Structure formats: structure tokens, C-alpha cells
Structure 1
Amino acid sequence: MEQNKPIATPSKRIDVIDALRGFALFGVIITHMLQRFGIFAGVRPGEPNFPALDGAVQWLFQNVIMGRFINIFAFLFGMSFFIQMDRAAKKGIDFRGRFLWRLVLLFVIGRIGASFTHVDILSVYALFGVILVFLYPLKNKVLMIIALLLLLGIPRIFVVGVDRISNEPATEVVQPAPQQQPQQQNRQWEPPTFFESVVRNQTTGTMGTINYQFGVSGRGYVTMALFILGLIVGRVRFFEEVHIKRKRNVVLFFVFLFSTLLVNFIIGLLSKEPINLFMLMRQGGNIPPIALVTATLNDINLVLLSGALAMGFITLFQVKSVRKYLESITPYGRMGLTNYEMQGVIGAILFSAWGFGSIFGTWRPTELFILGVVIYILQAIFSKYWMKYFLYGPLEWLWRSGTYLKWQPFRRKSEKSIKH
């Protein structure tokens, strides 16, 4: 098959996928905003202006938003991978080699994004994408088994160590406090410059991200499972029939929702008090099996609620009176790469010490939530008008041009040029 033949013009898109990506990115910016993009500007949150609302926002963040929307974003990456491979195959093109090069470019984009904030996940996505390319020839049943093993927390067992999984009491390993030099004890925190922040994000920030993705948290393993599930769902042509199988959409929504409630109930039965697996790991000694089971159930719960949110959105998208409003974020989703990176740059400017961190770093959850909504709306308006005149978002166009090593069409043809 031809491997280097470019696909010059954009294929017909499935609008609900773009809209769902735009929906996912709403949750992503709210999550990062409430986490201040992982940036500390040397200031602490001020006194609450809206204490009751702060509590409500925190509950919404912890129980509905955090971890759920990024799951949808990851799932759609696997879906997009299948769509590109499938459309290329229909044109007689083996896209695997080209997609691997595409992932190299994504890794570079992700590292540039990580210069602003270490919470940028695209470089990790690029690495998982390489694995997805090699998993692509496998049958759906095999892929499903791999995804289930990842979701069941099998990698976490190896991270913890089988020899440490026991209910037997063990002597805690207390880490000695680091000895500080007299001059260090009196040294005040100095705000980093932009360059110093870049270096820190690319070094210690990157190490923190690696630990979060591949350590006890196992966030990366869940992401890889969602990539695989996105590939499987793409293969069964789910989204190609989503507009005509509305009853199925509703049924799936309630299945995901009730499954979430069931898993929550089981977690409550297993553990009356939250088990902090990270704390247990830091303390040393044995890890009770119930801690690993609870961590796995929490991961599964996040994925199930993500499914409920996605199916709820898809169901509403098929309602004509609602769809006309939800379609407004379709351009946002089509520019998902640009908007995601733009979120990180804006977040760095707002919260870094070299930016406006001394101001926005003191804001409480309610103010940060509102600010996130405002930024999202402004991005949505920008995306709508950008896509009116261009075929792709700026980064999407550069990524596509780099993929084929040839400048791709960018501007939309006006009606006058078409007539002539």
C-alpha cells in the first residue's frame, strides 16, 4: 500500500465527536483552573467571598468533573486514531508509519506545552499512541482483555510490589528530615523567572508527571485503557450510527449511571474511611489488599461516570431543540489541539509568578470556576469565527502539514472563488 500519499482535504467529520471533544475540554479547563494548572506563585488563597458556593464548586469538582472529562478526551484520542487509520485504508494507504511520525510531532508539541505548565499531557499521549499503533492489528477481544487488565489495576500491583501486599502489621519506615544549612533555613522563596519556570517544568515537573502517570496512581494505565476502548468503539462503528439508535444511547446512559452508583456503593461497603494509597506508600511497610481494591474501584468509577457524561451529552445532541445549542462547541472540538494548548498558555500567564500569579493565585474556587467558564466561552467564540475562514485550527494545520511534510490547504475557499 502507498504510505506517503497525502490526504490533502479534510474528510467528512462526525459532528457529535467534535462537539463531545469540545465538551470534554470544558471539564479539562475547569479542572486545571481549580488546580491552578499545578502552578504555585508564592501566594495563598485569600479569605472566601462565597463560602457556600466554594463548597458546592469543590463538591462538583471532586465528584463530577475531576478525572472524568479528561477520560472522555483520552477515549476520543483512541477514536480519532481509528478514524484516521480507517479512512486511509479506504484510500489504499497504510497509515501506520505516517501516524508514528505524527506522534513524534505531537510529542514535540506536548513538550513545548509542558514548558508553560507541567500538567500538559500531550507528550504522554504521544508515547501511548505508539503502543496503540502496535496494538492495532489485534482483534477486539484481545484488545478488550488488555483494557480490562489495565483498568483492574494489574500494573499498580507491580508498582507497589507483591511482597508488600499484606494485612500483617509492619514497622513504619520513617524518612529522616533533610538537614538544611543555616543559610537555607532563613532563605525566602524567590519567584522564578519565565526561563526558570520552563527549566523546572521540563525537569522536576516532568518527573512529577511521570510518577503520577506510572506510579501508584496509575493514571497512565487508565489512559491507555481508554485509548484502546476508543479504538474498539471506532471499529464497531458506534458513532456512525449514533444518530439513528437513540434508544440505545439512552439505555447506555442509564447503564453507565447505575453502574457508577453500584461501584460507589461497593466502595462504601469496603471502606468506611478513604484510604490514601499515596500516604501508605510514603510511610513504607505493608499495603493492605483492600487499599488496592479500593483504588481500582475508584478508577473504574471514574471511567463509568465518564461514560455516563459522554452518553448523556450524545443523547442530548440528538434532540433537535438542544442540538442547535450544543453544535456551538463543535468548532471548539475541531480545534481541540489548539484550544488545549491555548488553555495551558493562558493558565501559565494567569498563575505563574512571572505572570499574574500574585493576583489569580489568591482566588478561591468560585472565582476560579467562573474565570474558567469565561475563558472557555471566549475560546468557543474564537473557534467559531476561526473555522468560518479556515479549514483547521492553527496547530492542527501545522501538525497536519508536518505529518505530510507538505503545506496543506488552510483557508476556506470563498463563494466568489468557487464561482470563478
Structure 2
Amino acid sequence: MQLRITSLDIIRGLAICAVLFVNMQYMTPVPSDTHNFTNVDKVIESIYSIVIRGKFISVFTILFGIGIGIFIDNAKFKERPPYKLMFRRLIFLFVVGIPCMILGMPFLQYAFVGFFVMFATKIKKPWVILAISFIPLIFSLINLIIHNGNTPSMTLTLFFLMLFGLYLSESKIIYNLKRHYYFLYTTLLIACIPVIICLTLYYTGTISGKLAHGLAEPFQAIGYLMILFLVFQSSFMKKVFTPFEKIGKMAFTNFILQGLLIIITLRIFGYLTPKVGIFVSIIIIVINVLLSHYWLKHFKQGPLEKLWRKWTYKNVTQSKTQSAQHTVKI
């Protein structure tokens, strides 16, 4: 029997759905003026900027780092070549990521950063991985301050977030969150401090909005993740958000499907105001839920996930001396 961490699937599904709302506006052709924006549209734009934009894709990035750790642990348990398989997995993501750049998806960057991050699993002490993760974070924050938030160091931030995710995996925290409530609450508290400081500096006019958002973004994402981990310790909450679990299990397929549906929508209707964009995004999410539920009812994996797995494990067999009983699926 193969185990699966349900909360990871739910959070992954929620993250890509939250990103959809931002992508709907990001990919929309900007009109020459926005005089037709209502007050509601302006409020929606502000909420996107403060609550969603950049934050949930960062949550997804942390989950990607967790996934690297789980994948390599599984490969080692099955006596398969972990780094060879991970390299093949990332090559597939790199190739798919090239055309997906048109859709604004960061798969190409994930593959590049993931290639270096996977070797951090060779570090025996997880706290060292956590310590190393702060090096790119510090350089990223310094770069933001120097350029007043105008040139964010996306690659450096990706390194930090993936390494943090890898730490959660390698420290085994992710496998038993109920035993690590102290870590979750402490991390949430620590993450809130820089976010509060940045918001305070912004609203007092000390720093620009771009700089405030750039500095707070990775910490805000970590805070979101800790909150979601705590929320989904409840069986009731897991049941309520079951539809997002299906989306999360087919995250790769759904992510690309969302991008294609956005392009089709914009080709037909052109510019969408933020208010209209919300309704269209909800319709796309419903489509994701229905298709994911139907597909997983008949198949074990999403179509792109199956193709990804087939490429990764081509001509690689599991050791006959090992059982997959305790394997954690990602």
C-alpha cells in the first residue's frame, strides 16, 4: 500500500487555484486607461497585490522542494538511482517549461533550481539545509533593497523556498505534523514579524509598495503554509476541501490547463476587468474540479503526470528485495 500526504495535495490544489486569479489579470492585455474600473475592481486589485500575488506561487514552490525530498527518499527506499531519476524528472520539466513560459509558468526555473537543490539531500543534518537556505534569501533581500523592489531576484528566492521545503521533508516534519505543532506555531510567528514590519514601513511611507511586497513575499508564503498545515490537521477541514485534493493530485495537468483556458477566454472576450476575471476564474476552477474528479475516478494519475512518470522511470526497475509499502507518493 502506498501512502499519500493528503494535506499536501489539498494545499497544492488551493495554491494553483489562488494563482489562477492573479494569472487571469497578469495575462490580460492592459487597456490604454482604466477609467472604467469600479471601486470594486480597485479593491480586488489591492487584495490580489497584498494577499495573493507572488505568495501562493511561493507556497507552490515550497511544496516543490518538499516533493524533491519525498521523491529521493522513495527512490532510495526502493533501491533505485535517486539522482538519476530526479535528473530525468527535471529534464522533462525543463523541456515542458520552455513553451510554458508563454503562459507565465515557472517550470523552467523550477527545473534549473531543482537540479542544484536535489544535491542538498546529501547533507546528513537537516538543520544545515535550513541554514544554507538563508544565504540566497539574504542576497535576494539585499538586491531588493538596493534596487527599491524593482528587480526581484526570482532565482535566489526560488532557492530559498525550495531549500526550506526540502528541510521540511528531510527533517521528517512533513510526515507527522501533529508531533510538530511547536515548530508550526513558532515558524508562523517568526514569519509574521517581517511581514508586519514591511507593512508598517509601507503605510508610514518609509518604503515603496514594490519593496514592501518583495521583502514580505517569501515570509508571507511560509506563514500561509504553516496556517494551512494547522488547518488541515482537522479531518473535517480535509473533508470540506476534498475537491482541491483532486486538483492537487493532478497539479501539473491542471496548471497547464488553466493557462490554456485563460488564453482561450482572452482570445474570445479580450480585456476582462478584475471583477469579471473573478467569475471566469471560478468557472475554470469548477472545470478543474469536475475534470480531475472524473479523470481520477477512472485513472490513477493525470495525463501529464502519467507521461512525466513514464519518462522518469523508463528502463528503470525496482529492486526485488524492497517493498513499496511505506512509500509516500507526491
The normalised TM-score by structure 1 is 0.68
Task: Give the structure with the higher percent helix.
Answer: 2
* Residue 133 of structure 2 corresponds to residue 143 of structure 1: no
Cα distance in structure 1, aligned partners of 2:17 and 2:82: 31
Residue 216 of structure 1 is matched in structure 2 by: 151
SS in 2 for 1:405: coil
Deviation per CA, 1:383-417, whole angstroms, max 9, x where unpaired? 12211211111100000001112699xxxxxxxxx
Cα distance in structure 1, aligned partners of 2:45 and 2:232: 28
- The structure 2 residue matched to 1:360, chosen from 256, 270, 277, is 270
SS in 2 for 1:375: helix
* Residue 54 of structure 2 corresponds to residue 119 of structure 1: no
Aligned length: 315
What aligned pairs does 1:3-402 form with structure 2 within 5 A after superposition? 11-35=2-26, 37=27, 40=29, 48=36, 51-114=38-101, 117-138=102-123, 139-153=125-139, 157=143, 216-246=151-181, 249-250=184-185, 252-266=187-201, 272-274=206-208, 295=211, 298-351=213-266, 355-356=267-268, 359-361=269-271, 363-402=272-311
Q: Which amino acid aligns with 1:40?
A: P
Change (3 A) 1:136 1:31: same
Q: Which amino acid aligns with 1:405?
A: K
Cα distance in structure 2, aligned partners of 1:130 and 1:251: 30
Larger radius of gyration: 1
Q: Which amino acid aligns with 2:282?
A: V
Deviation per CA, 1:313-370, whole angstroms, max 9, x where unpaired? 222212233221112211110101001111111122222xxx32xx231x21111122
Change (3 A) 1:390 1:143: same
Cα distance in structure 2, aligned partners of 1:136 and 1:126: 16
Unaligned stretches of 5+ in structure 1?
1-9, 167-211, 277-294, 409-420
Unaligned stretches of 5+ in structure 2?
318-330
Identity %: 21
Cα distance in structure 1, aligned partners of 2:177 and 2:117: 24
Cα distance in structure 2, aligned partners of 1:326 and 1:154: 34
The normalised TM-score by structure 2 is 0.84
Residue 103 of structure 1 contacts residue 126 of structure 1 at CA under 8 Å; is this kept in 2?
Answer: yes
Change (3 A) 1:145 1:313: closer
